[in-house]
Amino acid sequence: MKLHAILLIALVTIPLMSIAQQRQVPAQSGDERIQQERDEIREKQKGRFKANWKKPYPNPVRAGIYALALPGAGQIYNKRYWKLPLVWGAVGGVIYAIDYNTSQKNRFEVAYGQRILAERNSMEPFDEFAGIISSSSGIRRFRDQAEKNRELSYVGFVAVYALQALEAYVDAHLKNFDISDDLSLRFSPMWESAMAQSLGPGLSVTLHFD
């Protein structure tokens, strides 16, 4: 009798203890689930990047990364050495434009402040553009134009930097294509249906990549 009572108590107590333990485990919040999904996506992206990085030469991912790290490095990786003067010339040109427009903007900025000071105190202009630009508003227009040119130079730098990296990436892709020099073009007559119940002459053109 005692054994039956003990078994009955055990059968009732064990499920209640498991339910209590389940209630003590906090449910995963929405933010935690979102963070977990983001972590999984990052891990998948890392694995995909590593797999692409380990591909043999020519590897487009490596070419693009090298070009982003240093302009021209992607072209060196692709063994397109003749493109280096073009890449370095374009990058050097936009860097020179940034430096030139920045110096011009600073010159007009200083001259504008000096011209304003001279006009307020009814003094003779003593800036470097005295006798060349008649008023402070004229100096301000030149300053604003130099500032705009400087901003365009920065945009040009970003565009050139991105284009040379894209060129290295695409060029590495094209290296994987097997394009044969033997191309053949064939012309042959054919009959095709012009209407539902009639036939008409036609010409078939076939391009073969052998």
Summarize pLDDT for 49-93 with one digit per residue, the tens. 566 656 777 888 899 999 999 999 999 999 999 999 999 999 999
pLDDT on residue 146: 95
The model scores a pTM over 0.85:
no
Tell me the pLDDT band of 202, cut-offs 50, 70 and 90.
Answer: low
> Higher model confidence: residue 130 or residue 99?
99
SS (H, E, C) the chain: CHHHHHHHHHHHHHHHHHHHHHHHCCCCCHHHHHHHHHHHHHHHHHHHHHHHHCCCCCCHHHHHHHHHHCCCHHHHHCCCHHHHHHHHHHHHHHHHHHHHHHHHHHHHHHHHHHHHHHHHCCCCCCCCCCCCCCCHHHHHHHHHHHHHHHHHHHHHHHHHHHHHHHHHHHHHHHHCCCCCCCEEEEEEEEEEECCCCCEEEEEEEEEEEC
Domain boundaries of the chain, sorted by first residue: 56-177
